[in-house]
Amino acid sequence: MDLQSIKNRFGIIGNSPALNHALNVATQVANTDLSVLINGESGVGKEVFSQIIHALSARKHNSFIAVNCGAIPEGTIDSELFGHEKGSFTGAVDSRKGYFETVNGGTIFLDEIGEMPLGTQARLLRVLETGEYIRVGSSKVQKTDVRVIAASNKELLEYTHNGRFREDLYYRLNTVPIRVPALRDRQEDIILLFRKFATDFADRYKTTSVQLEDDAKQILISYPWPGNVRELKNIAEQISVLSKDKQISAEQLRGFLPENNFSRLPVVAGGSSSVTHSEFANEREILYKLFFDMKKDVNELKKMFFDLLQNPNLAQHAPVYTPDNSNNNNNTVKELSTISNAGNYLPNNNPVILNNQHTIQQHEDVEESLSIIDKEKELIIKALKKHRGKRRDASLDLGISERTLYRKLKEYDIENL
């Protein structure tokens, strides 16, 4: 089957070289029983590639099942994958077959494989190497013939370095790697995808398909698309439903795009980096907010010094400025007392004093860690202290999921406070 026929069959739009290469690898490996690891950011369509591999394989007439490892609680994932015996744990009122038993002879797609617990990773490795598994609560070894296709939006090799993913399992899964490109890396396909989505939604809602003006097309192409194809589809649906004018200008299009995503940080010079865009989502965003707040405080500090130097009379009424850490490290000015003939500014407890001769006494700069990991750990500890160890409240305050917070506690070896 040629490449265009595969695209038509599975609804794949685009002709970028990176996309075509990924499809070629998928078609070449389909007729084998090799394990495949699909890498790519969230929303790029990794599951479609697993379906292509299964549909073009000798197992196509047998079962295919997609399992999201990140959506299954750690305490039940072994039961879901390998089954359990009656009475093996609380709530096990009957025996149950696992996915590796029900899909015997077919293909199982393990999405978000990086979220799989280490204990389950060891059992999965045994299935891949010997085809054997044991139900939870049983001692009987069972056999299965299942092809495993895994996917991750994280760099699993980095996970192996910090002990979050088994290295032997990584190399066993990574027999044939497929990297699905992010949407911003296939800009030539963005307009084609938008046109396809707009046409589909026009048919669904019995309306006229929206059209983009040239300046709007340029904005659509330059937008970073952190949510990839999934986000583009959502934007196309919003415009199709909410826009009264079917000819969309650049200004109208901007109203549907999140403004903060036009200048997401950090920016990497040269346009290339080993760090993927998805790593700056979720919990990383709270760190960027912290850095912006710090920059704002520094600017306010500079302005205060200039005002005091230019007008010595202001020093008689200058407030004491101290950091208030009670609200996610946001500093607030507190007028604690009035200092006569001097203005004391106290950032990080290192005083800088303006005397009557308007000279500034030198003070020792304190080295402050700018490590993202250190800042992340510090914020997590402060959030737990603030909410008296309540993880749910702390995760809401940090803007991350409770599951992610639990993972971070284990990663940084933070005891619940």
User: 280 with 261: CB under 8 angstroms?
Assistant: no
Domain limits, CATH 1.10.10, in the chain: 372-411
Average pLDDT over residues 65-72: 94
pLDDT attached to residue 410: 79
Domain 3-181 in CATH: superfamily? P-loop containing nucleotide triphosphate hydrolases (3.40.50.300)
User: If you search the block for the tokens 């750690």, which residue do you land on?
Assistant: 74
Token readout for 275 is 């760090």
Which residues neighbour 275 within 8 Å (Cβ) at sequence distance 6 or greater? 268
Is the pLDDT score of 166 beyond 50?
Answer: yes
Token readout for 123 is 């059992």
- According to DSSP H, which parts of 31-166 are helical? 46-55, 77-82, 99-102, 118-130, 156-161
Q: What radius of gyration do the chain's Cα atoms show? A: 28
Closest CA to 187 of 249, 153, 238, 232: 232
Q: What angle do CA 43, 284, 73 make, to 5 degrees?
A: 60
| Calpha distance 42→61 (Å, rounded) | 29
Query: What type of residue sits at position 268?
Result: V
Confidence tier at 317 by pLDDT (50, 70, 90): low
- Percent helix, strand, coil in the chain (nearest 5)? 50, 10, 40
Token readout for 265 is 């940080």
Which residues neighbour 261 within 8 Å (Cβ) at sequence distance 6 or greater? 223, 224, 226
Q: What is the pLDDT of residues 139-153, one digit of tens each?
A: 999 999 999 999 999
Query: Over the chain, what is the mean pLDDT?
Result: 81
Is the pLDDT score of 120 beyond 90?
Answer: yes
pLDDT attached to residue 398: 81
Is the pLDDT score of 185 beyond 90?
Answer: yes
| Calpha distance 347→322 (Å, rounded) | 6
Beta strands 211-212 and 247-248 are parallel
User: In angstroms, what CA-CA distances link 335 with 197, 293, 312, 317?
Assistant: 56, 20, 19, 10
Window from 67-81, 215-229, 297-311 with minimum mean pLDDT: 297-311
Which of 235-239, 271-275, 285-289, 365-369 has the highest average model confidence (pLDDT)?
235-239
Domain limits, CATH 1.10.8.60, in the chain: 184-263
Window from 164-173, 247-256, 301-310, 352-361 with minimum mean pLDDT: 352-361
Burial of 227 (0-12, 13-18, 19+ CB in 10 A): buried
What number of helices (H) and strands (E) belong to the chain? 16, 11
Which of 83-87, 112-116, 357-361 has the highest average model confidence (pLDDT)?
112-116
Average pLDDT over residues 107-134: 96
Which residues neighbour 100 within 8 Å (Cβ) at sequence distance 6 or greater? 81, 82, 83, 108, 127, 133, 144, 146
CATH architecture of the region 184-263: Orthogonal Bundle (1.10)
pTM over 0.75: no
Long-range contacts of 71-78 (CB under 8 A, 24+ apart): 71/112, 74/117, 77/116, 77/117, 77/120, 78/119, 78/120, 78/123, 78/136
Residue 34 φ then ψ, to 5°: -70, 145
Is the pLDDT score of 75 beyond 90?
Answer: no
Confidence tier at 38 by pLDDT (50, 70, 90): very high
Confidence tier at 285 by pLDDT (50, 70, 90): low
Is the pLDDT score of 275 beyond 60?
Answer: no
> Taking the C-alpha atoms of 392, 393, 395 and 398 in order, what is their torsion angle to the nearest 10 degrees?
180
Which residues neighbour 20 within 8 Å (Cβ) at sequence distance 6 or greater? 3
User: If you search the block for the tokens 């199982």, which residue do you land on?
Assistant: 108
Q: Is the dihedral of CA 156, 161, 165, 169 positive or negative?
A: positive
| Calpha distance 44→33 (Å, rounded) | 24
Domain limits, CATH 3.40.50.300, in the chain: 3-181
Q: What is the pLDDT of residues 318-329, one digit of tens each?
A: 554 444 444 444
CB atoms within 10 A of CB 254: 14
Q: What is the pLDDT of residues 347-399, one digit of tens each?
A: 444 444 444 444 444 444 444 455 677 778 888 888 888 888 888 888 788 87
Average pLDDT over residues 305-332: 54
Confidence tier at 9 by pLDDT (50, 70, 90): very high
Report residue 388 CA to chain centroid gap. Answer: 27
Choice between 179 and 380, residue whose per-residue pLDDT is larger? 179
Query: What type of residue sits at position 389?
Result: G
Average pLDDT over residues 180-188: 95
Helix axes 372-386, 391-398, angle to 10 degrees: 130
Window from 85-89, 272-276, 293-297 with minimum mean pLDDT: 272-276
Confidence tier at 292 by pLDDT (50, 70, 90): low
372-411, which class in CATH?
A: mainly alpha
User: If you search the block for the tokens 């070894």, which residue do you land on?
Assistant: 141
User: If you search the block for the tokens 């330059």, which residue do you land on?
Assistant: 222
Q: What is the pLDDT of residues 39-65, one digit of tens each?
A: 999 999 999 999 999 999 999 999 999
Average pLDDT over residues 122-128: 96
